[in-house]
Amino acid sequence: MNIPQAFWLVPVASVVALSMAWFFFRQMMKEDEGTPRMKEIALYVRNGAMAYLKQQYKVVCIVFVVLCALFAFMAYGLNVQNPWVPFAFLTGGFFSGLAGFFGMKTATYASARTANAARQSLNAGLKIAFRSGAVMGLTVVGLGLLDIAIWFVVLNHFDSDGLISITTTMLTFGMGASTQALFARVGGGIYTKAADVGADIVGKVEADIPEDDPRNPATIADNVGDNVGDVAGMGADLYESYCGSVLSTAALGASAFAASASEGMQLKAVIAPMIIAAVGVFLSLLGIFLVRTKEGATMRDLLRSLSLGTNVSAVLIAIATFAILYLLGIENWLGLSFSVISGLTAGVIIGQATEYYTSHSYKPTQKISEAGQTGAATVIIKGIGTGMISTCIPVITIGVAIMLSYLCANGFDLSMSSVSLSHGLYGIGIAAVGMLSTLGITLATDAYGPIADNAGGNAEMAQLGEEVRHRTDALDALGNTTAATGKGFAIGSAALTALALLASYIEEVKIAMSRAEITLTDLAGNVIEATDATIPDFMNYFQVNLMNPKVLVGAFIGAMAAFLFCGMTMEAVGRAAEKMVQEVRRQFREIAGILEGTGTPDYGRCVEISTRAAQHEMIIPSVLAIIIPIVVGIVLGVAGVLGLLVGGLAGGFTLAVFMANAGGAWDNAKKNIEEGNFGGKGSFAHKACIVGDTVGDPFKDTSGPSLNILIKLMSMVSIVMAGLTVAFA
């Protein structure tokens, strides 16, 4: 088929995004890295981060080879899989890993330059840190669109089975991205929190030395961890969400408009989410250039600076969506435009709600700081309660966004007919695209966080002076809030993407049944071909209803999987942190003069401990996330898998919001006291909040963020393994 001219905006946007990422990187590299001591510290961190990433990619490569061999056997041996899947799987994982690598390389070069710029002014430091974070955002969207564009052109040329086959095949490269993202998130999260918890327990609590003090042997490992967890991990995570939302919406569009009487409507529905994402690149760039601040800015001023860029981008993409869908001539373009806006609005609301519950500019976090006056126990109780309460707004927001996007897309038709249902599901998918369309700037605000954090650590270890440290502390506190907001956004986008993937699973089952030449009966009892069946036909054939015990058991397993995964990753952090604590204590005890500042700690040993622990501990939780959907599919069939995905989505989304927000609130409650409130640094309340922050570390940086990958990965595995599930059904 002929590819419309409008589609070529997608590869153009990809090239622009990657070119601007390169421009910002070169611009940052021209800045001065500071004093010899600052350069030395930055080199320690950079070498540690790259050494870890090299080890992680070795483990991931082994897993990818095994899975690729399995997919090849399913495709060429059993004939239950599309022959393109092994190749699509590999490219998805490769581009996801590449995005994380480029983002982390930039971050490790930017931290010292940010600290040095903060010697001049707050705005200079903010500008370098934020634009370096933008490299991560632009690289993710650039590589994502490039991967999508290449596969669309290739499959359009070689696959003659139509758009449904093309889009569902493209969707499978999302499993490669999901698998890579899970290893990056889990491994990076374990690494960073093993170092962070170890450094806090021995350094701040036992030895009573400041955070990022060069006397602490774990401080370099802690700074390395910020990069591997919150830059490489987050980049791989949102690369997966970004591609997953666009591809699942394209697959739903191919299905929803397959029978449309209007010429070319199906193709228009397929390329629409790609074009919206492409236009989002240009508007994200505009927002990035708007971010700046003034000297002496308060936390609210800094938040307002970042909000200006993200909100302007969001408003402009909302306006642009109407024009895009109108010019494409899509049926019900007005309703679909409002579906996109519902997704965009949901993203903004979730971000604002996360900011409210995690920033120390607002009461919830201030109350946790106040609880520190009565001890660590009340800090933990208050933080858990705040985290639980904070789930309310995101859950209701996502619920409203789902309903509005569904109804706007199908003309407010509640009949649940085949056409109404398929158009409504397309609306939910395009709402996810709307939420992620400005990812270029949204991810920039998130990647900014670890850069600012490392800049603060560099300033402390290089002893740059109180004024510089005050500026880097302001940038760091802002980074904590943007990181928490970014995690909330990532979790919210994962919920909408996973729901779109859930609908795409049915399309993949349809193709698998057609390949296996399995027929089914429709609602009237007539025998029909799988390719002609509607979604209600499938629900009836597989008995997907709440009275079917397979569905209920699957839902319970899905909810349990979220808690099991969190428990395993939390314990992994605990075990790794114990090793770190023992090592730091040993160095304080055996290396003469560390606490007096005359001895040099063995930073490399702590980096090695975190690296080994992360590599060892990440394997079982990650492999478990892949195995569960396969086993459920074989044992409980399609009905059980759909129950699993629903249970995992509902349980995982709520639990992820709770953990991310509780952890972020504990972290900023400590920062609030360090600014001089409730006794300031070294006070009883400060030590109590350090304990809360330590508990919250694996909440917000390991288990919570990993859950949004878990719910998407289970969906992706289910889609890729649909042929196997049907074969055993």
Enter the tokens of residue 380. 């933990």
Q: Is 296 left (phi over 0), alpha (psi -120 to 50) or beta?
A: left
pLDDT in tens, 183-212: 888 888 888 888 888 777 877 777 777 767
Is the pLDDT reported for residue 658 higher than 90?
Answer: yes
Range from 35-44, 238-247, 422-431, 475-484 carrying the lowest mean pLDDT:
475-484
Q: Is the dihedral of CA 395, 398, 402, 405 positive or negative?
A: positive
Q: For residue 519, which phi and psi values (nearest 5 degrees)?
A: -100, 165
Whose tokens are 């059993």? That residue is: 78
Is the pLDDT reported for residue 307 higher than 80?
Answer: no
The pLDDT assigned to 505 comes to 87
The pLDDT assigned to 480 comes to 67
**Which one has a higher pLDDT value, 101 or 534?**
101
Tell me the CA end-to-end span of the chain in Å, nearest whole number. Answer: 35
Residue 680, SS3 per DSSP: coil
Taking residues 406-423, what's their average pLDDT? Answer: 86
The pLDDT assigned to 523 comes to 65
Is the pLDDT reported for residue 10 higher than 80?
Answer: yes
Strand partners, 528: 520
Using CA atoms, how far apart are residues 685 and 411, in angstroms rounded to an integer?
56
Please give the distance of CA 51 from its chain centroid, rounded to a whole number: 23
Work out the pLDDT band at 541, boundaries 50, 70, 90: confident
pLDDT in tens, 571-594: 988 888 888 888 888 888 888 888
Count of other CB atoms within 10 angstroms of residue 298: 11
Using CA atoms, how far apart are residues 694 and 192, in angstroms rounded to an integer?
12
481, 355 in Cβ contact below 8 A? yes
Please give the distance of CA 585 from its chain centroid, rounded to a whole number: 35
Closest CA to 435 of 600, 296, 596, 317: 317
Q: What is the DSSP letter of 4?
A: P
Residue 67 CB contacts under 8 Å (≥ 6 apart), including other chains? 89, 179, 626
The pLDDT assigned to 186 comes to 84
Enter the tokens of residue 429. 């998918």
User: What DSSP element (H or E) covers 519?
Assistant: strand 519-521
pLDDT in tens, 59-70: 888 889 988 898
What does pLDDT average to over the chain? 86
The pLDDT assigned to 1 comes to 62
Please give the distance of CA 567 from its chain centroid, rounded to a whole number: 20
Residue 411 CB contacts under 8 Å (≥ 6 apart), including other chains? 332, 335, 423
Enter the tokens of residue 186. 């889990």
Work out the pLDDT band at 484, boundaries 50, 70, 90: low
Whose tokens are 């041996």? That residue is: 77
User: What DSSP element (H or E) covers 304?
Assistant: helix 299-328
Residue 685 CB contacts under 8 Å (≥ 6 apart), including other chains? 369, 370, 372, 373, 673, 678, 679
DSSP track, 142-196: HHHHHHHHHHHHHHHHH--S-HHHHHHHHHTHHHHHHHHHHHHHHHHHHHHHHHH
Number of H helices, E strands in the chain: 24, 2
The pLDDT assigned to 122 comes to 81
**Which one has a higher pLDDT value, 341 or 492?**
341
Is the pLDDT reported for residue 23 higher than 90?
Answer: yes
Residue 251, SS3 per DSSP: helix
The pLDDT assigned to 608 comes to 84
Taking residues 394-423, what's their average pLDDT? Answer: 89
Q: What is the DSSP letter of 75?
A: I
Taking residues 507-526, what's their average pLDDT? Answer: 79
Enter the tokens of residue 123. 């705005």
Q: What is the DSSP letter of 229?
A: I
pLDDT in tens, 668-706: 899 889 888 898 888 899 989 989 988 998 898 888 888
Count of other CB atoms within 10 angstroms of residue 120: 12
Taking residues 118-144, what's their average pLDDT? Answer: 88
Is the pLDDT reported for residue 447 higher than 70?
Answer: yes
Whose tokens are 């419309």? That residue is: 4
Count of other CB atoms within 10 angstroms of residue 347: 28
Enter the tokens of residue 160. 């003659």
Burial (CB count within 10 angstroms: exposed 0-12, middle 13-18, buried 19+), residue 627: exposed
Taking residues 146-150, what's their average pLDDT? Answer: 92
Work out the pLDDT band at 296, boundaries 50, 70, 90: low
The pLDDT assigned to 277 comes to 94
Strand partners, 520: 528
Enter the tokens of residue 447. 């990647």
User: In the chain, pLDDT over 90 holds for what percent of residues?
Assistant: 29
Is the pLDDT reported for residue 18 higher than 90?
Answer: yes
Q: Which of 290-294, 376-380, 493-497, 543-547 has the highest mean pLDDT?
A: 376-380
Is the pLDDT reported for residue 393 higher than 70?
Answer: yes
Residue 58 CB contacts under 8 Å (≥ 6 apart), including other chains? none
3-state DSSP of 85-105: HHHHHHHHHHHHHHHHHHHHH
Work out the pLDDT band at 298, boundaries 50, 70, 90: low
Taking residues 333-341, what's their average pLDDT? Answer: 93
| Residue 544 half-sphere exposure toward CB, CA atoms < 13 A | 20
Enter the tokens of residue 642. 């759909």
Is the pLDDT reported for residue 531 higher than 80?
Answer: no
